[in-house]
Chain A
């Protein structure tokens, strides 16, 4: 058996690559293709049964009805905001972890960053619901300084999502900074650069591609999210909710598929832009 495999390198290669290619081609890209094809079908509005006739009706509705544009822009806005907040919060943490903390503390911090990933998404989202609820931690803090709590809404959604995806931003930046030799920082100092200058001229060029890599996670995860906004988002809805409502409530699979192509297209555009920065190598 083994020897026959040795004699037939092509068979060996086929066995090695077959399963992953099948997985990628059929289960993964096939599903995406099926999604896109479904978007071109129509459905019976009474029974919700899909009628396999080619039509662009779903896309027509998507582009002509204003509310979907509003929701798409809102979703992209939330995704950008979450990414921005994560980048700003993650940078100092990652910098401290990789360049300042002693090895023992560094290991502890790494575990602390990873720890929330072990807890269920729902538990974390409901924890934030409790904090934003009337009499919760966030609202009582706001009341203590005489402000009105934001309550459930877009603010709560952005905060919750930024919290949920923070580890996905910290880890790439941390990895990027790990690759930066300490000697470069020392050299920068020896040559008379002050800390801000070192950060701007030495650290940031290394960190920005890592940040962009992290932003792929935070941006795409936010783009597809519909659970957090249902839990803390009040009356707001994002693209994921429209997809969910059209699958679960309206039984309009073709339209749901049409809506689902928006994040795919946005993500493709984003990835194309990211490729130009060279951040793909930092992934």
Chain B
């Protein structure tokens, strides 16, 4: 971890230097230190130089809870004000996993997307999203500096979107069925878990990282340093743990409403979740609670990105500016249950403790979360003597885990 963050801050430094040195061109592929962090050359796409008038419509691809227009809850609405201000009529499509987002973006039907770290680089490399001119987004100035120019939202000093917020995958349980309150992921991984048959898990290959993180704490002799950098031996141990977990699982979820329903009926009583799911369940009077277990958490750091084939780019820029405005960013952060990206958003939350609860702006805390990242062959923890398992291996293993 230490090594990683040192490498990351070095990279950021290099990026800043590079950005200062080559303020003009975004398309130069000079071999400065930043090239090493991503290890690929993205397609040569131009960013917008000036902003024109809005095109009148915008198609948004978002995580559930990121683009609410009041249709789920009349009080939760930050899309209508955007429509009124800019005249861009918004249509929203939600997705359940990062993989779904990547394949939906390939259709070219969406103008902007809220991409997590395990989708963003794939979108950049595939040419589905284009570089973003942050000068055209006034609210970008207020975004926490430690979210800018990170390996998952920029390449060679060029931002590919606007940081939106970050948060953690939490452990949720039914307070009436699970006692005592769990403090460890052991309740969902241990073969002797008393909640056998009522455990739920996230239905995506990226969930393998959750098991790896658990092993990182419980089996230190495996030597896992980063749950997204698993060599063959570590990977096998992780997959074995998940195969063992399958006997405990009642069902896997990727549709967040399905998880709410499973917790409501009691088919699932404990498992991984997002804060927003706990909020919806609590809203329906289901007795649930969430916690950050002792082994740590995986999480997400999301970026709004602009489709390279979008015909509504002006509306896209207006949207990116709106969604990180203090008001909208605060509303999303509070509804979804994550830290806002805009430092000024903390003054706008209804719950004045929101930013304290979610450790917003606390750089040290934010680095404790293992953000979703696409595993690649080059080990992300800096090891060069072994090859790590890449995402296509993870995908195949996930099918095998489910059997």
Q: Which A residues form the contact surface with B (CB < 8 A)?
A: 45-49, 61, 65, 67-68, 70-71, 133-136, 151-152, 233-237, 242, 245-252
B249 touches A235 (CB 8 A): yes
B99 touches A249 (CB 8 A): yes
B256 on interface, CB distance cutoff 8 Å: no
A46 touches B376 (CB 8 A): yes
C-alpha gap A68/B402 in the complex (Å): 11
Which 5 A-B pairs give the minimum distances between C-beta atoms? Answer: A47-B126, A45-B392, A249-B99, A250-B395, A133-B265
B106 neighbours in A (Cβ, 8 Å): 48, 251
Known A-B contacts A45-B390, A151-B250, A234-B251; the reply to A249 vs B204 at CB < 8 A is yes
CB contact between B122 and one of A48, A135, A242 (< 8 Å): that residue:
A48
Q: Which residue of A lies closest to B266 (CB)?
A: A134
B392 touches A252 (CB 8 A): yes
CB contact between A252 and one of B97, B265, B390, B395 (< 8 Å): that residue:
B395
8 Å CB contacts to A: which residues of B347-403?
Answer: 374, 376, 390-392, 395-396, 398-400, 402-403
A133 touches B390 (CB 8 A): no
Known A-B contacts A47-B126, A248-B99; the reply to A235 vs B402 at CB < 8 A is yes
B392–chain A nearest beta-carbon distance, Å:
4
- Apart from A235-B246, A245-B399, A251-B106, 9 more pairs, CB < 8 Å: A45-B390, A45-B391, A46-B40, A46-B374, A135-B266, A235-B251, A237-B402, A249-B395, A251-B102
* Chain B window 233-271, contacts with chain A (Cβ cutoff 8 Å), 1 for yes, 0 for no: 000000000000010011110000000000001110000
B250 neighbours in A (Cβ, 8 Å): 151-152, 234-235
Known A-B contacts A46-B374, A134-B265, A151-B267; the reply to A249 vs B205 at CB < 8 A is yes
CB contact between B103 and one of A70, A236, A251 (< 8 Å): that residue:
A251
Q: Which B residues form the contact surface with A (CB < 8 A)?
A: 40, 97, 99-100, 102-103, 106, 122, 125-126, 197, 204-205, 246, 249-252, 265-267, 374, 376, 390-392, 395-396, 398-400, 402-403
B396 neighbours in A (Cβ, 8 Å): 61, 65
List 16 A–B pairs whose Cβ atoms lie within 8 Å, in order of A's numbering: A45-B390, A46-B40, A46-B374, A46-B391, A47-B126, A49-B126, A133-B266, A134-B265, A136-B265, A152-B251, A235-B249, A235-B403, A245-B399, A246-B395, A248-B103, A249-B204
CB contact between A47 and one of B100, B122, B265, B400 (< 8 Å): that residue:
B122
A46 touches B265 (CB 8 A): no
A239–chain B nearest beta-carbon distance, Å:
11
A209–chain B nearest beta-carbon distance, Å:
38
B93–chain A nearest beta-carbon distance, Å:
13
B287–chain A nearest beta-carbon distance, Å:
15
B395 touches A46 (CB 8 A): no
A234 neighbours in B (Cβ, 8 Å): 249-251
B37–chain A nearest beta-carbon distance, Å:
15
A134 neighbours in B (Cβ, 8 Å): 265-267
A135 neighbours in B (Cβ, 8 Å): 265-266
A67 neighbours in B (Cβ, 8 Å): 399-400, 403
C-alpha gap A251/B392 in the complex (Å): 9
B128–chain A nearest beta-carbon distance, Å:
9
B125 neighbours in A (Cβ, 8 Å): 46-47
Known A-B contacts A135-B266, A237-B399; the reply to A46 vs B390 at CB < 8 A is yes
C-alpha gap A245/B96 in the complex (Å): 12
Known A-B contacts A67-B403, A135-B266; the reply to A249 vs B97 at CB < 8 A is yes
Known A-B contacts A48-B126, A151-B197; the reply to A247 vs B403 at CB < 8 A is no
A160–chain B nearest beta-carbon distance, Å:
14
Q: Which residue of B lies closest to A250 (CB)?
A: B395
C-alpha gap A246/B103 in the complex (Å): 10
A81–chain B nearest beta-carbon distance, Å:
19
A251 neighbours in B (Cβ, 8 Å): 99, 102-103, 106
Q: Which residue of B lies closest to A61 (CB)?
A: B396
B122 neighbours in A (Cβ, 8 Å): 46-48
B97 neighbours in A (Cβ, 8 Å): 249
B102 touches A48 (CB 8 A): yes
B400 neighbours in A (Cβ, 8 Å): 65, 67
A235 touches B267 (CB 8 A): no
B251 neighbours in A (Cβ, 8 Å): 152, 233-235
A48 neighbours in B (Cβ, 8 Å): 102-103, 106, 122, 126
B266 neighbours in A (Cβ, 8 Å): 133-135
Q: Which residue of A lies closest to B39 (CB)?
A: A46
B254–chain A nearest beta-carbon distance, Å:
8
Q: Which residue of B lies closest to A49 (CB)?
A: B126
Known A-B contacts A47-B126, A235-B246, A237-B402; the reply to A249 vs B267 at CB < 8 A is no
Q: Which residue of A lies closest to B255 (CB)?
A: A230
CB contact between B403 and one of A70, A133, A152, A248 (< 8 Å): that residue:
A70
B103 neighbours in A (Cβ, 8 Å): 48, 247-249, 251
A152 neighbours in B (Cβ, 8 Å): 250-251, 267
C-alpha gap A48/B395 in the complex (Å): 12
C-alpha gap A186/B332 in the complex (Å): 75
CB contact between A248 and one of B100, B246, B267 (< 8 Å): that residue:
B100
A46 neighbours in B (Cβ, 8 Å): 40, 122, 125, 374, 376, 390-391
Q: Which residue of A lies closest to B177 (CB)?
A: A134
A71 neighbours in B (Cβ, 8 Å): 399, 403
